[in-house]
Each structure stands twice: as C-alpha cells, then as structure tokens.
A = this chain, B = another copy of it.
Amino acid sequence: MNEFELIEQLIQGFGDLTQADFISTGAGDDAAVLDLPADQQLVVSTDTLVPGVHFPTDTRSDLVGYRSIAINVSDLAAMGATPLGMTIALTIESLDGSRIKQFAQGIAIAAREFNVKILGGNLARGPLNISVTIHGNVPQGAALLRSQAQIGDDIWLTGTLGATRAYLAKPSNPQSSIETLLAQRDTSVVARYFLPHPRVEFASRIRDIAHGAIDVSDGLASELAHLTDASQCGASICLNRLPVWAGLDLLDVVGPDDSYELLFTAKRNDRQLVLERAHSTNTPVVVIGEVVAEQNVNYTLDQEQVYPRTGFDHFA
C-alpha cells in the first residue's frame, strides 16, 4: 500500500465525518472549500503534539489521536466557539498502516463527540508529530477573549485540576477501549489524563454572560497570568476552593498541568445563570476567586497568603 492509497482508505474510513452542508469540496483535492454562514465569525487555532512532551512515548495510537483533537477543541472552548472542522498534519516514521488506522479511530471518536468535521490533512515521513488546525464559529462579536475580564468578576473553573501530576505519580498504560475509558473520565485519573474533556458545549452556552476566558492547558497559574495581563487586572485565588485529584498538594496543583479545563470570569450577579448552564451541560464548575484591580495574582490557603509553585515553559 502506498501513501496515496492509505490516504484514500483513511478518507473512506472517516465516512460522514468528511461531509457536511458547509463542506463544498472536502478532503482529496489540493485544499478544502467551505461555505461559512455570513453572520458568524470564523475562529481558528493550531496546536501540536509531540511524544515525550504532550503524551508518553509509548501511548497507544488511538489515545494519541483522541488527545490531538480534544486539546484543539479546548482552544475553541476558550473562545466560546462552536466546532466546525479541522485539518490534521501527521508526521510519522513509517507508513505503518495499522498504526495510522488506529490513530484515525481515536480521531474519529473525538470528532463525533465534539461534532467537528475532518476537512483534510497531510501525511509526512519523520519523527512523530501531530499538528491539528481547528476551525469553529461564533456569532459576530461574541468570542470570549482573554482581555475581557472585569474587576469584581467571579473567577470560575470547570472540572478538576492536577490530572498530569496525579497520573505521573502513578503512571500506567490503559488497556481498555476508548469508549470504556470515556465512561471513567470523571473518576479515573488515568482515563482523564489520556482523554481530556474540553468544555466546548458549556463554553458556547455562556458566551452571553462570561467575560474573560482561557483554557487551562499549561497550568492554572500560567494561564491566569495570561488572562490578567491581557485584561490589565489582577486576581485573588482561594486554593481551598480548587477541585483537585486526591492526594495532590494544593501548592503544586496550580503549576504545570495539562488539564484542558476552562477558566473564565463573569459578573457576580450572574452566578445563578452560570450554575444553570453548567447543570444543563453536566459541567462541574466552581468559583475559585475574584478579579481585582491590583495587577498581580494573590493566592490564599486557609486564609493565609501563600506562594505556590507556578508556571510552565515547554523549553525549560
């Protein structure tokens, strides 16, 4: 089987995931041609995954495929955007058909879960690298930006922090199917680590009430600093309120962690509205602090100021 035959088989295997009303020409030509609704803005983001950095080197290919899509969907969630479609650039050492097809199975499961179509891709030979570019849309002016946090806002967080740290303390390679692992995602840290759960549906439901938003993909402290910098404000965070996986130290858990949860701010008066929308989308949310005027981030634990270990640098 050569490269072109394999690509043809992959496109066939994706079936209806390559087709939609808005896809005028899909995968298989030099580029995809799309019809986008006139009253919406297009939202575009790209994210790369590299073994040993974004997943353990021996991770099963379908888990890598799922993860590649989920972390890109998380960027759309951070904008309050609704997923449309994506391109997938896969670089792989050899034309291992069964491995590539397993990778595609994970992609297909994620694509169905998040309702994102496959617009096209690229297959190249080299050290494993997956770059996905994802496209979504939002109504005119409705995107959730980092720069829109307002002083006095509640700071909200979805889900539970610390999946990476908790997983690395007790690493194991899951044997179950993705379907089985998805059912355990809220209770098993292994399932949760391999299968991030971007809050994209919830995010699209709070477009009218959320102010600033960002996804917590590099750790809470790092991402919160991006949000407060962009919004020219500060934040006060109560660590006792953070939902974390069992056994984790609250002074560590705001540091490096790829949880792909949503951090957002909203008026205190909208607290009930946020909770209703969270309930309707089965999304755990909690207020972890407040946006303040003074431009730094202040953490408290048991009502005392603390200095957690923070930050993340892929090149450190």
Contacts and interface: CB of A to CB of B under 8 A. Distances in A.
Interface in A40-98: 41-54, 75-76, 78-79, 81, 87-89, 91, 94-95
A125 B53 contact: yes
A75 B89 CA distance: 15
Interface stretch (A13-21, A159-167, A266-274, A308-316): A308-316
Which residue, of A33, A76, A78, A122, has the highest number of chain B Cβ atoms within 10 A?
A: A33
Contacts of A2: 313, 315-316
A120 interface: yes
A24 interface: yes
A290 interface: no
A145 interface: yes
Contact of A32 (B44, B119, B230): B44
A134 B131 CA distance: 13
B24 A33 contact: no
A63 to B, nearest CB: 18
Nearest to A96: B315
Interface residues of A, number: 70
Given A31-B79, A53-B126, A46 B133 contact: yes
Nearest to A6: B315
A9 to B, nearest CB: 14
Given A25-B143, A78-B31, A79-B31, A45 B123 contact: no
Contacts of A314: 3, 123-125
A116 B135 CA distance: 18
Contacts of A171: none
Nearest to A41: B33
Contacts of A78: 29-31
A38 interface: yes
A38 B34 CA distance: 12
A215 interface: yes
B30 A41 contact: no
Nearest to A88: B46
8 contacts: A29-B146, A33-B143, A42-B42, A44-B120, A50-B127, A53-B125, A89-B133, A126-B129
Interface of A: 2-4, 24-25, 28-36, 38, 41-54, 75-76, 78-79, 81, 87-89, 91, 94-95, 119-127, 129, 131, 133-136, 138, 140, 143, 145-147, 213-215, 226, 230, 313-316
Nearest 10 interchain pairs by C-beta:
A50-B126, A31-B45, A38-B38, A131-B131, A95-B315, A30-B78, A133-B133, A127-B127, A46-B87, A89-B131
